[in-house]
Structure 1
Amino acid sequence: MQKCIWLTAILCYIVLSSSAQHFVINSARKNVNIPFKLVRNMVVIKLHINDKGPYNFILDTGVGIMIITEPKLVDSIVIPNKRTIKLSGLAEGEDYEALVTAPLDIQIPGVNSEGVGAAILKQDYFNLSGYVGMPIHGLLGYDFFSELAVKINFEDSTITVCKPHDLSKLRKMHKVPISIEEKKPYLETTITYPGGKKIKNKLVIDIGAGHPLSLENLITKNGLPSKFIAANLGVALNGPITGFISRMQEVDIGKYKIKNVITSFPDIDYAKRQFSIQRDGNMGIGILKRFHVIFDYSNSTMYLKSNRFFKNPYEFDMSGMEYFAGGENYQHLIISRVSPGSPAADIGLEKDDEIVSINLKPVSQMGIEEVDGILKSKDERALLLEIYHDKKYDKVILTLKRRI
């Protein structure tokens, strides 16, 4: 999910005092373990701000500064010396407002902030809470990674942080050089396109992007692969980012070769955007979660070791539905889009229909992550759905189909 690429490209320049903004480990501890929850390929951690909370934040290497996406937090925490800025150029004839704060007191168990401020959106443009199915209050990026070594273990959902010189047990991990440019990590990789053509690409390493891989200039330079589907790829301030989904034959990261990778291709209008750092796309958590990952920004290095998820095949949604969690406690699953010609369209499902149950199990007892897993589980699998449509309940059979 490329939920805020356009926003963060501008916000990365709105910095209070870049050299002073970072996090430190409390007292004399050498390392700190922080639990996280992986939901819809989002790494969610809990933190406090100015002694209020806890709040749920998505850890996101694609973000230049801390962003508070939930405007109501302004009423919950005391934020002195904030100023209003205009975000322009993101949509025809429209300006968007955000508040920029003075340094906040941000506490993660065992870790505290020093000089870290935030940008607070005046409107929740992205509905991350509805997408994830739980309250989400913001995004935490570069400031968290800048002076700490950060290890993410996707097998036990634990983040371990330490000072870079205290890193240990690296002999079994593969060292990958990266560059830190305008507060974001980049790597160079070789991608094998359908047909066997190998091309070097410079990619943003973006654990806040739910997809495995996005290539932004492929359509204009090479055209689309022969097999693809149209899709909404994410959300920007002026609406959905449209494009296409296909597969790349292989992605090489150091010694690792990752096969048959689901890949997003933003449409030509998006690809024409000019980035201050020339790049070809981004690598998201769909690839990175197959590794134990250590980020060491201070030494321009990422360490990788394949985990038990490494050989899992890449699958995409087989229903043709996009949906979000709504209502009290996010227990209602509402369809936001149905792809033409998809299995969901074939049985007449429509935008704003509610999915009430799947195979007689209420979705309120499942969570959006479990629903995602079911809807990309097996080609030709038949599911019994209960749907609330036009003020009545219907039962329909949805037969999944591998579309890409």
Structure 2
Amino acid sequence: MKKAFTLILLFFCFCNIGYSQGKFVIQNKKGSDKIRFKLINNLIVIPVEINGVELSFLLDTGVSKPIIFNFLNVSDTLKIKDAKKIYLRGLGEGESVEALKSKNNVFKVGDAIKLNQDLYAVYDANLNFAPRLGVPVHGILGFDLFKDFVVEINYSHKYIKITDPDKNRYKPCKKCERFNLEFYNNKPYINAKVKINNKQIPVKLLIDSGGSDALWLFEDEALGITSSNRYFDDFLGHGLSGSVYGKRSKIDEFSLNSFVLKRANVAYPDSTSILFAKKISGRNGSLAGNILKRFNIVLNYQEATVTLHKNGYFNDKFSYNKSGIELAHDGVRFVKERENIAPNKNSLINETNQNQTRIVFDSRYKFSLKPAYAIVELRTGSPAHLAGLKNGDIILSVNSKPAHQFTLQQIMQIFYAEDGKKIKLKIDRNGVVLNYSFILKDFFK
């Protein structure tokens, strides 16, 4: 099973956006369509076509309007027009960021099309998902799709099904539970319970499919929402307005009626990073991908309901990155690889007796460009930090296997392994090759 990885979590707020700006329409007789997605680090990546250009977007219940990361230089290709400069504010300690609002864009998701979609182009290079996900991600799509359809998110089979509400038929399910949703600024909230220090506490949580963590809670001593003595400080992600830091810990229990998850992961973001988010009346945090993926979900915004059915991920143990290392793609490297062919007798050429110059072309080897993985975050006091690793180190091999033979997610999975596992890394630090090893330790054991 794939583990959950700490990754970027964005939160955008757009107020007073209604249903009157047109809608998506499914262009087939069935009135429904299935769209396959990639599940990467608990995040849903779907194909989206904008103005005839095929792109990849995160499907995020926590955003109100589509965002495109314009530093990827796709605006000219998309022929964005009627742009107007605005400023957006979100999670993080920094200032608002500049964006261009564009009208009348054509969006296509599967068989669904919308002819007059607003789009927000953000130029901040920090909002680049691709290096940490290992796949291209050009933007984020949320409310505009969910408001027009009944949307089934099938995490176990990795597809979403969009259905015209007029053609949707609710099918009773003995093992399912249906919950009412509340909406603030076009974002869905659900009521749940957490058990902290043996105290059961009701909480209102944003349903945030664009976050890869399990659960974020806003500390509130009056309600009893506080971290236990067992926690560590960590980088939680990068929001629209800057980096977000906080505490990582465990809670005794998380429950949605009969669905109960023991010892769930929790993060408590610093209060300075969530001032804007806490303005939502009664909000206590976010419910994110590492819990959501344990259910197959049907979201019906028009009826303000969500139906949950637990799937094969439900009983997965809540793990976390025990190494303290966060990796990202960092360009490419030339790698020498041996080919499985016989030596070429003609591989020695240009040999003279006069100067004994000898140029060797050995056809058994080839040089290829392979992805490079760099350490971009290193938790203070973690096993990797104590071993001597540093930000900027390029990983050359993991447990004696060349790093380029792994995907980014495969390397990160290794860092989520069981307590006591030994990790050996060969790294390149400013041209010097060094070897390090450390033992994974479960902080909460």
Q: CA 1:187 to 1:90, structure 2 compared with 1: closer, same or farther past 3 Å?
A: closer
Distance in 2 of aligned mates of 1:190 and 1:93: 32
More helix by share: 1
Following TM superposition, by how much is the alpha carbon of 1:168 offset from its aligned partner in structure 2, in angstroms?
A: 4.5
Following TM superposition, by how much is the alpha carbon of 1:181 offset from its aligned partner in structure 2, in angstroms?
A: 2.3
2:65 corresponds in structure 1 to 65
For residues 137-171 of structure 1, give each alpha carbon's deviation from its aligned partner in whole angstroms, at most 9, with x where no partner exists: 00001001002111111112111111234234442
Name which of structure 1's ranges 295-304 and 81-90 shifts more when overlaid on structure 2. 81-90
- Aligned partners of 1:24 and 1:114 also within 8 Å: no
Amino acid paired to 2:431: K
- Aligned partners of 2:215 and 2:286 also within 8 Å: yes
Distance in 1 of aligned mates of 2:47 and 2:90: 33
Q: CA 1:95 to 1:211, structure 2 compared with 1: closer, same or farther past 3 Å?
A: closer
Distance in 2 of aligned mates of 1:63 and 1:296: 16
Distance in 1 of aligned mates of 2:170 and 2:60: 24
Q: CA RMSD in A?
A: 2.2
Larger Rg computed on CA atoms:
2
- Aligned partners of 1:133 and 1:330 also within 8 Å: no
Aligned positions of 1:84-95 closer than 5 A: 84-87=85-88, 94=95
Look up the SS of the partner of 2:286 in the other structure.
strand
Look up the SS of the partner of 1:19 in the other structure.
coil
Q: CA 1:239 to 1:181, structure 2 compared with 1: closer, same or farther past 3 Å?
A: closer
Look up the SS of the partner of 1:209 in the other structure.
coil
Distance in 2 of aligned mates of 1:315 and 1:256: 19
1:198 corresponds in structure 2 to 200
2:353 corresponds in structure 1 to none
1:281 corresponds in structure 2 to 285
Name which of structure 1's ranges 148-157 and 135-144 shifts more when overlaid on structure 2. 148-157
Distance in 1 of aligned mates of 2:268 and 2:96: 27
- Aligned partners of 2:45 and 2:56 also within 8 Å: yes
Distance in 1 of aligned mates of 2:272 and 2:24: 38
Distance in 2 of aligned mates of 1:91 and 1:233: 10
Distance in 2 of aligned mates of 1:205 and 1:184: 8
Residue 384 (str. 1) matches residue 424 (str. 2): yes
Distance in 1 of aligned mates of 2:437 and 2:90: 45
Distance in 1 of aligned mates of 2:247 and 2:87: 31
Aligned positions of 1:206-245 closer than 5 A: 206-218=208-220, 222=224, 223-245=226-248
Name which of structure 1's ranges 38-47 and 21-30 shifts more when overlaid on structure 2. 21-30
Distance in 1 of aligned mates of 2:282 and 2:115: 31
Residue 249 (str. 1) matches residue 252 (str. 2): yes
For residues 168-200 of structure 1, give each alpha carbon's deviation from its aligned partner in whole angstroms, at most 9, with x where no partner exists: 44424221111222110000111111x211111
Name which of structure 1's ranges 276-285 and 198-207 shifts more when overlaid on structure 2. 276-285
- Aligned partners of 2:90 and 2:240 also within 8 Å: no
- Aligned partners of 1:133 and 1:326 also within 8 Å: no
1:318 to 318, 322, 326: 322
Aligned positions of 1:298-313 closer than 5 A: 298-313=302-317
- Aligned partners of 2:92 and 2:272 also within 8 Å: no
Name which of structure 1's ranges 204-213 and 62-71 shifts more when overlaid on structure 2. 62-71
Distance in 2 of aligned mates of 1:89 and 1:135: 23
Amino acid paired to 1:382: K
Q: CA 1:374 to 1:86, structure 2 compared with 1: closer, same or farther past 3 Å?
A: same
Look up the SS of the partner of 1:393 in the other structure.
strand
1:403 corresponds in structure 2 to 443
Residue 104 (str. 1) matches residue 105 (str. 2): yes
Amino acid paired to 2:37: F
Distance in 2 of aligned mates of 1:26 and 1:73: 27
- Aligned partners of 1:134 and 1:330 also within 8 Å: no
Q: CA 1:362 to 1:13, structure 2 compared with 1: closer, same or farther past 3 Å?
A: farther
1:147 corresponds in structure 2 to 148
2:9 to 3, 6, 13: 3
Residue 26 (str. 1) matches residue 30 (str. 2): no
Task: Point out where structure 1 has 5 or more consecutive residues left out of the alignment.
Answer: none
Distance in 1 of aligned mates of 2:171 and 2:407: 36
Amino acid paired to 2:198: G
Following TM superposition, by how much is the alpha carbon of 1:337 offset from its aligned partner in structure 2, in angstroms?
A: 2.1
Distance in 1 of aligned mates of 2:434 and 2:222: 44
Following TM superposition, by how much is the alpha carbon of 1:88 offset from its aligned partner in structure 2, in angstroms?
A: 6.3
Q: CA 1:128 to 1:149, structure 2 compared with 1: closer, same or farther past 3 Å?
A: same
Amino acid paired to 1:130: P
Task: Point out where structure 2 has 5 or more consecutive residues left out of the alignment.
Answer: 1-6, 333-368
Q: CA 1:272 to 1:181, structure 2 compared with 1: closer, same or farther past 3 Å?
A: closer
Name which of structure 1's ranges 212-221 and 247-256 shifts more when overlaid on structure 2. 212-221
Q: CA 1:359 to 1:189, structure 2 compared with 1: closer, same or farther past 3 Å?
A: same
- Aligned partners of 1:133 and 1:325 also within 8 Å: yes
Q: CA 1:117 to 1:272, structure 2 compared with 1: closer, same or farther past 3 Å?
A: closer
- Aligned partners of 1:228 and 1:245 also within 8 Å: yes
2:55 corresponds in structure 1 to 55
1:260 corresponds in structure 2 to 263
1:331 corresponds in structure 2 to 371
Following TM superposition, by how much is the alpha carbon of 1:109 offset from its aligned partner in structure 2, in angstroms?
A: 2.2
Amino acid paired to 1:68: I
Following TM superposition, by how much is the alpha carbon of 1:364 offset from its aligned partner in structure 2, in angstroms?
A: 2.4
Look up the SS of the partner of 2:104 in the other structure.
coil
Distance in 2 of aligned mates of 1:213 and 1:330: 35
Following TM superposition, by how much is the alpha carbon of 1:2 offset from its aligned partner in structure 2, in angstroms?
A: 5.2
Amino acid paired to 1:202: K
Following TM superposition, by how much is the alpha carbon of 1:229 offset from its aligned partner in structure 2, in angstroms?
A: 0.7
For residues 329-366 of structure 1, give each alpha carbon's deviation from its aligned partner in whole angstroms, at most 9, with x where no partner exists: 99221111222221101210001001122123333232
Look up the SS of the partner of 1:143 in the other structure.
helix
Q: CA 1:318 to 1:300, structure 2 compared with 1: closer, same or farther past 3 Å?
A: same
- Aligned partners of 2:37 and 2:160 also within 8 Å: yes
How many residues get paired? Answer: 397
Following TM superposition, by how much is the alpha carbon of 1:271 offset from its aligned partner in structure 2, in angstroms?
A: 4.3
1:40 corresponds in structure 2 to 41
- Aligned partners of 2:96 and 2:241 also within 8 Å: no
Q: CA 1:126 to 1:399, structure 2 compared with 1: closer, same or farther past 3 Å?
A: same
